[in-house]
Structure 1
């Protein structure tokens, strides 16, 4: 049984951290040595890599010395990357009411004139906007996105307005919902898309509709065309059996 390592180390290594991890953070195990080799940190990759850097990993690996991911995600830097320009209105961006109010947490967030005339941008994006916000908005998330997931940018505020999430549409829409978007927007409270895709719900949708295969028992291999191998082949086969066995 290992003992969790949270003390200051000297000459730590990834191998050591995999044997004696630090504290898990948001489900990410602390199995990599930080840049200074003084602790085991919760990063999704090792602290010497040159790809897929995020603000959260930069902060974990480097602390406040280089807590921001570069725009191309190749490494970390000490200064926050510029926020993205967004459209508000024709008024000056710093005028109250021109843009949707910036989140109240973390403090100090405000709108400023963007890099392009007529555009606005957040003055200083937080190290991470995937969680920990209060009163987030879609407009804020478009200027300071959260972590991209499977190629989907995190430019929409979740339902609780506490983070910017990777959904294919805004979290208040009434069409085209998928399970992935429901989970992103609502977490485990309503992670399943309704059958008509009009919204999300807490319970999984009902089993599939009855279909005709052959006179043999449904669970016998070859009776029906093989179910997809992803996701969860055995559950799909069981549901098919339950729905079709009454026909025979």
Structure 2
């Protein structure tokens, strides 16, 4: 699709403040947000996946709460769904903003992944040619660890465990949740009595720190593969980070 609208991409590790910043940019540019998060597509996983839907305010968002737990959703599914959402946003004259931390999903769009077999839901391979600019958030290791710890404690207080317990009561199979990885694997192990509460909280916190580190490793790999990421200086305050993006554009 030919357009003068550049796709704005905002990526970063977990707890780096992507959503709040994406919402600010969307407010400034009459934009809509397309989520690049592999688990926020699933309904009823609100606290555990950190959807923070209240942060969006009146800003429209896409690829959140679009599937039921257990429904198939691969990189190919994401690529098609995001491709359609971005085209839809552009067609309506709005600014598309892709925001998330799932590097593989983001790369599948920006690098126009081609699969060995055309997915069954496509008649022919996608040809993705969006003009784009990528921004990255990369808090210092100490700040990242502090934010992760604080956010995990907040989610536990908000009822993250209770949310999962209710899903089990509603008939969601434990393995469907364990398959989602990270928080869900640890929560199921705790709920089923395989680990103590202390093991659960300390182990999960460590696992999230390790996950954030892997996210950054993937983003660096994307850079080496030729995707330019404009890293926003972490020394800037929130408003200055917003201005950094707007001035760059």
Question: Which TM-score bucket, shorter chain as reference?
Answer: under 0.3
TM-score (norm 1): 0.23
Larger radius of gyration: 1
Report which of the two has the higher share of helix.
2
TM-score by length of 2: 0.23
Structure of greater relative contact order (alpha carbons < 8 Å, 6+ residues apart): 2
